[in-house]
């Protein structure tokens, strides 16, 4: 409502009332109150508070690493739980060279033979079929990644419950609004779309038959929903024991809080991630982006590929339980190790980074133009001073060593800002990079599209859409020699492949499919 229904002055007024009201509660009291009323929320927890979270403890999330001297450290566990091939626990740190003999004597893994010279036109996952019941951003990403790698990904949709990512303002007035969201088009490229009414018993039975023809299923419904309609892993695996199923949820499929409503913005607070973002001595800013969603999507793709590899080697399927919260915690392990070893709760550092000074964003010529610069060594500091034609900086006793530069980093930042503001950003970055100093311009969207490096790598692709025309989409996360992204397909129209999929996989006639569409079973 802050974004859609309030003018800025009312937003500020509302925030004032809300902050006053919240003073009557601790963050855990308010979190409990919200849970009682099923209001999506999450406290901004610090790392020490995360370590005692009841949901994480019930899921045995944290792991232990033992060092050669016998000391132990508790660290975040895996971002997803695989039912048949779980990540190892009670890990150890090897001595230098300890595993050499074992590694060199290990027999190579066996894989299914491939005819030499057989072209993989669509990518390394060609021949893998995925039923994609994921929706919105987090649920769409695993299928997007696998589709980019050549898998056949069949997205399940319905006009009875349109994916939120399809919604938005109309750009082409005389065309369906739900076909015009570029966000949806970006993360659902290379997929097929079938329309199935999950409120129809017949639709559910047909979808089960489709699932039996797939290597894997992706879903991110609220835990418990699929079991009510008989499409959870336990039910599907009875008839398809080789099936792999990825279930994504806010805090996991099990545990005392598994049924809470969960969205990425408050999961960043619940996991400790938001507590690390801000400036020293100021209020927490938080990450301000749904990072937990994108991170969960990539982690889910990793778990899915791991299970599919096991399926290929053994024929055995399994269930993957991914909690967005656990996947987010897994990427900030450094803060947890710091707490475990030093009993230090990491606070926001702004742009500071231990061991580097200067380290931050500095203005350059132009309106709101900036560069990022990071200096670690005395040699880099001397080179930076020379590039800026300010040798007096290198000679200044206040900046004579890494320790002194760190202690005086605020004065250093102010001095550098005055010098960089006279420079052209691109020229400055190129000069610093030539001296092996980490430096990059901060690019806006238009600048990214025009950047020669990104253009050379085809970081962004132009794909024609039947309603929107040519669209610019972000390209693959990595490059492979076995598939050509020039052959990528646009995102599907809603239900575009319903007839094709039900005809090809279930042997239904077009007349039968059309009858099911007419009776709103496949809609």
Helix, strand or coil for residue 320?
A: strand
Sheet containing 359-363: which strands, arranged edge to edge? 359-363, 370-374, 438-441
Taking the domains of the chain in order of start, what are their residue ranges? 1-39, 129-332+473-518, 359-450
Report the DSSP beta bridge partners of residue 193: 155
Could you give the C-alpha distances from 291 to 298, 394, 495, in angstroms and in order? 11, 39, 29
Indicate the class that CATH gives domain 359-450.
alpha beta
Q: Let me know if domain 129-332+473-518 sits in CATH 3.40.190.10.
A: no
Angle formed at CA 234 by CA 228 and CA 239, multiple of 5 degrees: 110
Same fold, 129-332+473-518 and 359-450: no
Helix (H), strand (E) counts: the chain:
23, 15
Pairing type for strands 152-157 and 129-133 reads parallel
**Distance separating alpha carbons of residues 504 and 345, to the nearest angstrom:** 57
- Contact between 66 and 93 under an 8 Å Cβ cutoff? The reply is yes
**Distance separating alpha carbons of residues 220 and 385, to the nearest angstrom:** 52
Within the chain, which residues score under 50 in pLDDT?
1-6, 114-119
Could you give the angle at which helices 136-148 and 291-314 cross, rounded to 10 degrees? 40
Phi-psi region of 504 (alpha: psi -120 to 50; beta: other; left: phi over 0): alpha
Where are the alpha helices (H) located in 240-290, listed in sequence order? 264-270
> Residue 264's closest CA among 246, 235, 286?
286
Report the DSSP beta bridge partners of residue 244: 216, 318
Fill in the DSSP letter of residue 491. Answer: P
**Could you write out the three-class secondary structure of 108-121?**
CCCCCCCCCCCCCC
What are 259-298's pLDDT values in tens digits? 988 888 889 999 999 999 999 999 899 998 899 999 999 9
CB count in 10 Å sphere of residue 516: 21
Contacts of 389 (CB under 8 A, 6+ apart): none
Helix, strand or coil for residue 247?
A: strand
Pairing type for strands 216-219 and 460-465 reads unpaired
> Residue 325's closest CA among 252, 406, 398?
252
What are 379-404's pLDDT values in tens digits? 999 999 999 999 999 999 999 999 99
CB count in 10 Å sphere of residue 241: 11
Element (H, E) at 133: strand 129-133
Sign of the alpha-carbon torsion through 276, 279, 285, 290: negative
Pairing type for strands 63-66 and 91-92 reads parallel
Copy the structure tokens of residue 444.
Answer: 């806006």
- Return the pLDDT at 370: 98
- Return the pLDDT at 24: 93
> Residue 211's closest CA among 246, 164, 160?
246
């Amino acid at each position: 409502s802050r974004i859609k229904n309030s003018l800025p002055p009312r937003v500020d007024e509302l925030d004032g009332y809300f902050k006053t009201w919240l003073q009557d509660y601790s963050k855990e009291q308010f979190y409990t109150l919200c849970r009682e009323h099923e209001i999506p929320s999450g406290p901004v927890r610090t790392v020490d508070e995360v370590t005692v979270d009841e949901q994480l403890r019930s899921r045995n999330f944290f792991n232990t690493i033992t060092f050669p001297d016998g000391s132990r450290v508790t660290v975040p566990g895996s971002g997803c739980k695989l039912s048949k091939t779980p990540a190892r626990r009670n890990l150890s740190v090897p001595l230098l060279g300890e595993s050499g003999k074992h590694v060199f004597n290990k027999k190579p893994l066996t894989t299914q033979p491939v005819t030499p010279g057989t072209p993989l036109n669509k990518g390394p996952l060609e021949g893998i079929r995925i039923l994609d019941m994921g929706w919105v951003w987090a649920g769409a990403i695993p299928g997007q990644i696998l589709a980019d790698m050549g898998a056949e990904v069949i997205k399940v949709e319905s006009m009875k419950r349109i994916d939120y990512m399809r919604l938005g303002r109309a750009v082409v007035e005389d065309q369906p609004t739900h076909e015009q969201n570029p966000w949806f088009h970006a993360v659902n490229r290379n997929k097929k779309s079938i329309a199935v009414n999950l409120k129809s018993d017949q639709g559910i039975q047909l979808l089960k038959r489709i699932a039996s023809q797939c290597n894997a299923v992706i879903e991110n419904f609220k835990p418990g929903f699929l079991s009510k309609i008989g499409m959870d892993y336990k039910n599907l695996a009875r008839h398809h024991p080789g099936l792999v199923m990825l279930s994504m949820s806010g805090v996991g499929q099990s545990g005392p809080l598994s049924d809470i409503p969960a969205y990425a913005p408050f999961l960043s607070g619940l996991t400790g991630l938001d507590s690390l973002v801000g400036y020293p001595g100021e209020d927490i800013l938080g990450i301000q982006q749904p990072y937990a969603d994108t991170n969960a999507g990539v982690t889910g793709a990793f778990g899915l590929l791991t299970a599919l590899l096991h399926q290929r080697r053994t024929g055995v399927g399994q269930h993957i339980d991914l909690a967005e919260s656990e996947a987010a915690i897994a990427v900030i392990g450094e803060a947890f190790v710091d707490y475990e070893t030093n009993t230090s709760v990491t606070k926001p550092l702004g742009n500071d980074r231990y061991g580097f000074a200067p380290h931050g964003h500095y203005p350059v010529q132009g309106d709101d133009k900036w560069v990022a610069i990071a200096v670690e060594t005395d040699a880099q500091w001397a080179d930076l001073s020379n590039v800026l034609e300010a040798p007096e900086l290198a000679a200044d006793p206040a900046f004579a060593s890494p320790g002194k530069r760190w202690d005086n980093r605020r004065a250093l930042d102010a001095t550098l800002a005055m010098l960089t503001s006279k420079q052209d950003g691109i020229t400055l970055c190129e000069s610093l990079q030539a001296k092996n100093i980490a430096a990059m311009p901060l690019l806006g969207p238009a600048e990214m599209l025009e950047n020669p490096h990104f253009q050379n790598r085809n970081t962004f692709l132009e794909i024609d859409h039947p309603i929107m025309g040519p669209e610019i989409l972000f390209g693959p996360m990595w490059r492979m020699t076995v598939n050509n992204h020039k052959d990528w397909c646009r995102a599907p129209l809603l239900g575009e492949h319903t007839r094709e999929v039900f005809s090809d996989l279930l042997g239904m006639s077009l007349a039968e499919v059309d009858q099911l569409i007419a009776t709103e079973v496949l809609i």
